[in-house]
Every structure is written in C-alpha cells, then in structure tokens.
A and B are shown apart, each in its own frame.
Chain A
C-alpha cells in the first residue's frame, strides 16, 4: 500500500516533530511513507473564513499532489475533514468536471491518523510506551465531522505505562475555531479558560489531541497560566517506545 503523508502547512511550519512521529510510527509498523513534495495546504483557513476563490487553487494542488497514492494520512482531524467534506463542495462550485472526478476519487482515501491505524491498518496496539499521566481532548472536527469516535482512545489505552485520565467536558470545543480566535477573541478566550481549567483539574502531565492547532490554542492557555502541563500530538505518544531517550 502506497501511503502518502499530508503534513499540513501548519504542522510543516510549527510542529515538524508530529510529522516525524507519524513517519517513525508507520515505518515501525512496516509501512513505507511517501512525502509528495508538491503539497502545501488543504485550504481550510480560506474556506472556513469565506475565501472560497482563494481556496480553490489549493484544492487543485492537493488533488494533483496526492492522486497517485492508495491512502493519504494526515495528523490533523480538521484538515482531513476539510478534504473529505469540503473539497468536493469547492470542486462542484468550480464546475470543473475533472477536478470533481479527481476529488471524488481521492477524498475517501484521506484518513486522519487514528482512522488509518485502526480502520485501514487494523491495529490498536502500536507497541508504544509512554509512562506519564495523560488526558485526551477530542477535537471537534475529528469527533463531529470525521466521527473518529473512540479510535484515538483505543490507541492510547494500548500504550504501555500510560496513566490515561478522563478530561471533564471533553466534548466541548476549546474555542480555537481558526480565525474565530481572532474575530471573536473574548468568546474564544472564555472557552479556552474553561478548557484549561478542565485540563488542570485532571492533574495530567500531558494533554494529548489529534490536532496541533487545537493543541497550540489550549497549550497557549496552559503556558500563559504556567500550569506546567505539556501538550503532545497523538502521533508523538504513539511513536515512543521503551528505550527511547526521553
């Protein structure tokens, strides 16, 4: 199976370790990871903010960059959601029949990391080791757009040494919402404050999620309040094994 990694522009720039972790993890599971160099961005920010005209060339680029693969994995629930749910919308609006066909073919093969592992590769115990107290925040798009359900938790529960604690009001949005955080900073900050309070209440050392954008948001709040709680992407926890230097 030819698996391509869609790193996302945000992870590429801000969280390269997440991409390295996905690569390490999949290679450990015996797969070859391809990184199509032509990739840039799924266009989510533009689409969600109303700039569809600007998003369309990014959709085109995505479709071309990933056309040749059996599966595309991305360590972001919201970017996977953008491709699966909205690339088709943009293609239809463009009236470009070729693009519609390309997206129709490609979109179902795009997986968020936990979907690829559990559904496609059929694995929940990835052989990871992480001896820390962890709480998990299910991000909105993974939960309600992709419907990943408890797949990330299945993966985390199988991690050796982990002390996984439930996050109160886990389903509540953290208040990021992309440009929402800038357009409605007061509401966003109020939501963040509640999320941060719930995270600290768990006394976890690490907050884990499947989307670094939400993690940057919550982590930014945790950092500002000097709570000492760190953030890690799901991939980074799953990539670690016993004997890793930590």
Chain B
C-alpha cells in the first residue's frame, strides 16, 4: 500500500515552493493591507473571547486530552460511529483516498438523478477536489458560504480556513459579484456598493433560489459523536442550515479524525471553537442531526469517512497530534508569516501554521518539503491553538524528516554540506576557536567601520536588507583565557 494514501491526494500542490510563492505575495501591497486589517481585527477579538473564560487553559487541556485519547483508539470510535449512524437511518461509506471519496459522492448524486448540489463550506471536500470531480461528471456544485461563493465566482483558490476570501477586500468583492454572479444564477443588483451589508444581501438573494430548488446537499462535519451518531456543523450565515434542512439527500464528507467518543464531549469544543475562530461566545448557528427524521430535513443521509493520508499521519507519534485540529484557524490569524504571505503561498487548502504541518503529512513530506520551513518557530500558533497542538514541535520534527529523506540523494545539498561543516567546527572548542579566528580575520577585511554591508554567496539573502557587524578581534573565550588565567 506504499504511496496509496497520496493517490488522488491533496489538491493543488505543485504550485511553487513556499519561498518563491511567498516572494510575490509579500510584494502584493493590496494583499498585505487586506491581510493585516483582517488578521488584526480577529486577533483582538479572539484574545478577548478567550480571556472571558478564566478556565480557558483547562478547556484547552481537556480538548487536547479528548482528541489525543480518541486518536489512540480511532478504529474503535469509527466502528461505533458507523453503528450509531446506521441505527438511525444513515448510510456510512469509507473512502481510502480522495479519488475514492469523489467516486462515492458522484455515484450518490447520480443515483438521485440530479445534476446540481448545494454545498456547505467544507475543508475535506476542498482537500479532495470534489467540485472538480463532480464537474467532470457533469454535476455542478454551488458553494453557499459567502467567502466560498466569492472564491468560486472568481475562479480563485481559498486562502484561509475560515474565511477563504480573506485576501479580498470589499471593493474587490463588489467587482467579483457584479461581473460574475450573472453567469452562475441571479445577477448582482444594480447599483451594488461595497458596503458589506449590501454584499451579504446580494449573496442572500443570489443563493435563495438555489436553496429552494436543489435536491442534494454536500457538507463537511465539524464533529461526529460516536455514541449517538450525531453530526455537527458549526456556521454563521444560515447557508449550512439551508443545505442541511431543505434538500432531500444529504451527503457529508468527514475526515476520520473528526469523530468524538461522545455527544457530551461537545461541551468542550462548542466553548472553544467559536471563541477561537471568530472570537464570538457562540457562532450564530450550529446544526446537529442524528440520522434522518421523518418529516424534517433530508430523507437520505450518507456519511463518507475519509482517510486520504490521515492514517499515515496517525502512524507518526509526533505528527499524530495534528489530527486533533478543529479547523478554527486561530493559528493562521496569529501567524506573522501567514499575515505577510496569505494562504495561497502554502499551495494547499490548509494554509498557515496548521497547513505547514498538516499538508506535508497528508500529501507526503517529499511533495511539500518547503512547508515545514515556512515558520520562524515563534510559537504564537501553539499558544493560540484551542486543542494545544504543539505546531513548532511538529514543524521541527517534519524538518528532520525532510532532511533525512534528502540524505539518501546522490549529491549532498550545499545546505547539508554547510551544516556538516558547522557540526565539525563546533565539535571541539579548539576547532571552534580556529574557525573564529579565520572568520574574524576574513570579515574584518570586508568590513567598513566594523560593519559588513554585503555578504558573499547565498548569504546575500541576509545582507540585502540587513547590516552585519564584523566579529570583534577577541572572542569571549579568548578574553576569558587572557583575563582569568586562574579560572580555567
């Protein structure tokens, strides 16, 4: 089964490596302005919402403990979930990879005879490229979350887990609505301004017909309780309620790691998730359903359990914690790297710090080798994470995996040679002293008034924007030996 977990895999990798993609993103001043404004707004709200609960740390600890203990017995909980969902009239499907999940959903939609589906925002279906797969089968998927709608109309890619159009400002959104809405359905109203209220109203009006007419919905799931078979979707706009209530058939695609042992566990996550993601005490709408109910909502409910690299992630005892992620996006909003680059540079539906650890694990480190390095290890993400995923720990762990994978190559990289040389130099104080003397001599030849303005080779990446002090004549070690001969 080697490699099968990535067949189909995570969509949309293969964009340039992070440093190159980040270069153009950093140069885009409008993007930088949009991101800074949006992440700045949400940061303060999140901190305030978390600070309101004086047991925030205890809630985080409980959430981490539930997630980690659940993952240690994932098979048990999944079988229990399957049993519960089946008992209440749902049908459970298992998909080993993206291609299989897409085939299952396509087959289920075709069986209804419909050619259109409405969608609730879902990371899992982004990950597997479901919309593209459905389109290839002649089925049109309508995204109904406002930001997903913006992205779909603009033929764009999402750049944030919670707010996929975070890279767009209101004026750009107005233009997208005016130019594209008509191609997909009801056009934008005449005289649409960039007032967010008007833009939301335009989306309401555009999508209302779709909600009333479409017979099949596709959703993701935030949580699923194994003991009761209850599935939960957390949202704000009501598009989720529309999709989960009005159509006749509901197909939910859920990563296998979303299972919770019990309905009661939701008491922890329903407190953490809204406060971490939108900085609200509670999001406007949460829907929970347990199978089907006669006379209320869909008559058929299908739950597709998706692996697609999750079991490979589970295998890594350090990386495993990544599967605890509840997709709140707090780590994106606090990340200084994400704030400057936005989400597209990560080349994955999962951007930001969590994407930098999740994508390489789902898709294979070799396919996303630059992502674990797309962080300064500043640790802001770990502090913000409501389920205490130690993202810096996983980042350095994956860096080691990337380096070790490259060790087998025929030619050593310049970096690996430099690292080996540094290790040899640092192996003994004598070698270090020798290198210090040589380096100091060389540097002083290049320095002017003790400052190096341009450094040789790849070090120009540093010296392009920074002066560097020339090392002083005497190292600390030498000073100590000279001044304290008695204390050696």
Inter-chain CA distance A191–B396, complex, in Å, is 21
In contact, A51 and B378 (Cβ under 8 angstroms): no
Within 8 A of A (CB), among B417-431: 419-420, 422-423, 426-429
Q: Is the CB of B340 within 8 A of A180?
A: no
State whether A19 touches B476 (Cβ < 8 A): yes
Q: B400 interface residue, CB < 8 Å from A?
A: yes
A144-B380, A144-B383, A191-B340 known; A57-B423 Cβ under 8 A: yes
Q: Is the CB of B18 within 8 A of A184?
A: yes
Residues of chain A in range 6-56 having any CB-CB distance to chain B below 8 Å: 7, 9, 11-14, 16-17, 19-20, 34-35, 37-41, 43, 45-55
Contacts of B340 in A (CB 8 A): 187, 190-191
Closest chain B residue, CB of each to CB of A47: B396
Q: Contact at A177–B377, with CB atoms within 8 Å? A: yes
As a 0/1 sequence over residues 71 to 90 of chain A, the CB contacts with chain B under 8 angstroms (1 = contact) are 00000000000000010000
- A34 partner residues in chain B, CB cutoff 8 A: 487
B467 within 8 A of A: yes
B53 within 8 A of A: no
Chain B contact residues, majority secondary structure = helix
* A89 CB → nearest B CB, Å: 8
How many chain-A residues does the 8 Å CB contact rule pick out? 67
Contact in complex: B403, A45 (CB < 8 Å): no
Chain B residues with CB under 8 A of A180: 373, 375-377
Flag if A224 contacts B427 (CB, 8 Å).
no
Query: When the two chains form the complex, which single residue of B26, B383, B461 contacts A181, counting CB atoms closer than 8 Å?
Result: B461
Residues from chain B with Cβ under 8 Å of A52 in the complex: 400, 403
Among A97-105, A109-117, A128-136, A168-176, the stretch in contact with B: A168-176
Question: Would you call A221 an interface residue if the criterion is a C-beta within 8 Å of the partner chain's C-beta atoms?
Answer: yes
- Judged by a CB distance under 8 angstroms, whether A246 is at the interface is no
A120 to B477, CA, bound (A): 25
B380 near A11: Cβ-Cβ < 8 Å: no
Interface residues of B in 436-488 (CB under 8 A from A): 436, 439-440, 451, 453, 458-459, 461-462, 464-469, 471-472, 474-477, 479-481, 484, 487-488
Residues of B with C-beta under 8 A to A186 = 19, 22-23, 26-27
Select B428's contact among A16, A17, A40, A45, beta carbons within 8 Å. Answer: A40
Q: A144-B380, A187-B340 are in contact. Are A51 and B466 (CB under 8 A)?
A: no
- Are A177 and B376 touching (Cβ within 8 A)? yes
Q: Is the CB of B475 within 8 A of A12?
A: yes
A47–B395 alpha-carbon span in the complex (Å): 11
Is the C-beta of A127 less than 8 angstroms from some C-beta in chain B? no
List the A residue with the shortest CB-CB distance to B423. Answer: A54
Most chain A CB inside 10 Å of its own CB: which residue of B27, B383, B453, B461: B461
Is A12 touching B382 in the complex (CB atoms < 8 A)?
Answer: no
Q: Which A residues are CB-close (under 8 A) to B375?
A: 177, 180
**Bound Cα distance A14, B340 (Å):** 30
Q: Residue B59 at the A interface, CB < 8 A?
A: no
- A149 CB-CB contact with B under 8 Å: no
Q: List 15 A-B contacts (CB under 8 A).
A: A20-B479, A46-B422, A48-B377, A49-B415, A50-B403, A140-B378, A141-B379, A144-B382, A171-B380, A173-B336, A180-B375, A190-B32, A191-B337, A220-B467, A224-B465
By Cβ-Cβ distance, the 7 closest A-B pairs, closest first, are: A177-B376, A220-B466, A50-B399, A50-B403, A144-B379, A173-B378, A223-B467
B-to-A contact residues, CB < 8 Å: 18-19, 22-23, 26-27, 32, 336-337, 340-341, 370, 372-380, 382-383, 396, 399-404, 415-416, 419-420, 422-423, 426-429, 432, 436, 439-440, 451, 453, 458-459, 461-462, 464-469, 471-472, 474-477, 479-481, 484, 487-488
